A and B are shown apart, each in its own frame.
Chain A
Amino acid sequence: MSIVVTSLTKVYGQQKAVNGISFEAKPGRILGFLGPNGAGKSTTMKMLTSYIPQTSGKASVCGFDISEETLQVRKNIGYLPESNPLYLEMYVKEFLAFIAETHQLRNISERVAEVIKLTGLGKEQHKKIGQLSKGYKQRVGLAQAIIHNPSVLILDEPTSGLDPNQLIEVRALIRELGKTKTVILSTHIMQEVEAVCDDIVMINKGEIVANDSLKNLLASHQQTALEPIFVKLTNIA
């Protein structure tokens, strides 16, 4: 089990952003983390990457506790934050080499070349990140997340801002990565979940409303598409 979350809670002032959620993510499967805006998806991901601490509850990544062994957790995670922050004044290669250095990788230039090829950044690799279009920036974000070959990938809306062609490519890449790694990805696009994910965790107002494999979820609601299920489960007043 690479990610185990047990009654994880985050309280901001009076507001419970995440309220005692528990789920697990297995290696070799892609977990779709769904929910309306403000449901607590990004907060959960930030806690899993040790960026912010939980108020209560526990979670571990690859067996490392997220509040005790933060350095180990961060070593084993590839993280693509929601807004995809990048150093815009850096060159693509320079930036990826910097990220590789923070992970203390060897053969940095080889690895940088590898991820550039993997994410299809070949043509843009000599540009400054600030000059790239949104889709290519997103690929740079993805490239930095996978550069150290982490066993866990946490991707917060990895496909926002991509055109349909890029969508297909990036989804294929995520599926490929998901064969060997544990992937958690959040998205608002239900077709994407159907195309990519094996398991679904759906949350609403900080609480889990569904936690099952995609197949079982569809079968139990007697639906062929996810969208009606999403509306039904998260649109409760």
Chain B
Amino acid sequence: MFTIFKKELFAYLNSLVAYITIGVFLLVLSLLLWVFPETSVLDYGYASLESLFYLTPYLFMFLIPGITMRSFAEEKKEGTFELLVTRPLTDWQIVFGKYLAALALVLFALLPTLVYYISVYQLGTTLGNIDTGAVIGSYIGLFLLGANFAAIGIFSSALTKNQVIAFAIAIFLCFFVFSGFDSLSQLLSLQKFDGVLINLGINEHYQSISRGVLDTRDLVYFISVIVLFLSITKTVLGGRKW
């Protein structure tokens, strides 16, 4: 598993794709947070990173599929998939290795945003006037959300040879899992199940962790979604054997 992880991570870091996608992500986020007045922390006037945690899930919806789209799709297209799966490795090792490499990249994208925390910390009227607990909770939530999106992205990539299709499917699934269930629950005919539906979506659990309360139910939810998508990925890869 570590072998695949290392190979995948180097493949990301040796190609421009990773730097450009992460760079664009950070650029857009910085513009939204500090320059564009509607979402700017400075205009808002409160020492809070709320806009960061509100905006990032939507940016992740594009960033993470962009990172993960190549992972299996490219191997299938280039034929190296045959080389990879005839190694003495289990399918799980391959799936996990690729997943962890994508996750590492999500972490790389997230780390530089700590600068925003430091900035807001310094800018507070009384130094450090910021709810650090909520920020830590939100970061954990954001990381778990990224971990879910990465699992969805890896799954989408395993479905097809075409990276663009993998990208599109991943964006749709991420969006749907994130806020689709919330929206569905507002349908009049589904009102009876609105509690269940809302709980199926990532947003509800993300909000809950963002409040700074690390509830095991939310943790279990995030881990289940990851396990679910990685298991389907493994099944899809085994599909050549049907």
Contact = CB atoms under 8 A, between A and B. Distances in A.
A109 interface: no
A231 interface: no
Given A85-B78, A85-B80, A85-B82, A102 B15 contact: no
B88 A81 contact: no
B237 to A, nearest CB: 12
Interface string A12-50: 000000000000000000000000000000000010011
Nearest to A98: B7
A34 to B, nearest CB: 22
Given A52-B240, A83-B79, A85-B79, A71 B86 contact: no
Nearest to B80: A85
Interface residues of B, number: 22
Interface string B84-109: 01111110000000000000000000
Interface string B4-17: 10110011001100
A135 interface: no
B93 to A, nearest CB: 9
B111 interface: no
B83 A86 contact: yes
A103 B85 contact: no
Contacts of A51: 82, 85-86, 240
A14 B120 CA distance: 67
Contacts of B192: none
B87 A49 contact: no
Interface residues of A, number: 27
Given A81-B82, A85-B82, A89-B11, A102 B241 contact: no
A236 B233 CA distance: 45
A102 B88 contact: yes
A103 B83 CA distance: 13
A136 interface: no
**B82, B85, B86, B241 pick with most chain A CB within 10 angstroms:** B86
A120 interface: no
B109 to A, nearest CB: 22
B186 interface: no
Contacts of A104: 88
A135 to B, nearest CB: 18
Contacts of A225: none
Nearest to A95: B7
B191 interface: no
B224 interface: no
B78 A88 contact: yes
**From DSSP, what is the main secondary structure of chain A's interface residues?**
loop
B3 interface: yes
A81 B87 CA distance: 12
A75 B81 CA distance: 17
B224 to A, nearest CB: 28
Interface in A94-146: 94, 98-99, 101-104, 144
Interface string A148-181: 0000000000000000000000000000000000
Given A83-B79, A85-B78, A85-B80, A49 B3 contact: no
B180 to A, nearest CB: 36
A89 B13 CA distance: 12
A93 interface: no
Contacts of B86: 49-51, 74, 77, 79, 81
Given A52-B240, A89-B11, A89-B15, A102 B89 contact: yes
Nearest to B79: A85
A71 B11 CA distance: 26
B3 A102 contact: yes
Contacts of A79: 86
Given A89-B15, A103-B88, A98 B3 contact: yes
Interface in A68-88: 71, 74-75, 77, 79, 81, 83, 85-88
Given A85-B81, A87-B11, 8 more contacts: A50-B86, A51-B240, A71-B88, A74-B86, A75-B88, A101-B3, A102-B4, A104-B88
Interface of B: 3-4, 6-7, 10-11, 14-15, 78-83, 85-90, 240-241
12 contacts: A51-B86, A51-B240, A71-B90, A74-B86, A75-B88, A81-B86, A85-B79, A89-B14, A94-B10, A98-B3, A102-B89, A103-B88
Query: Nearest 5 CB-CB pairs, A to B?
Result: A85-B79, A102-B87, A101-B3, A74-B88, A75-B88
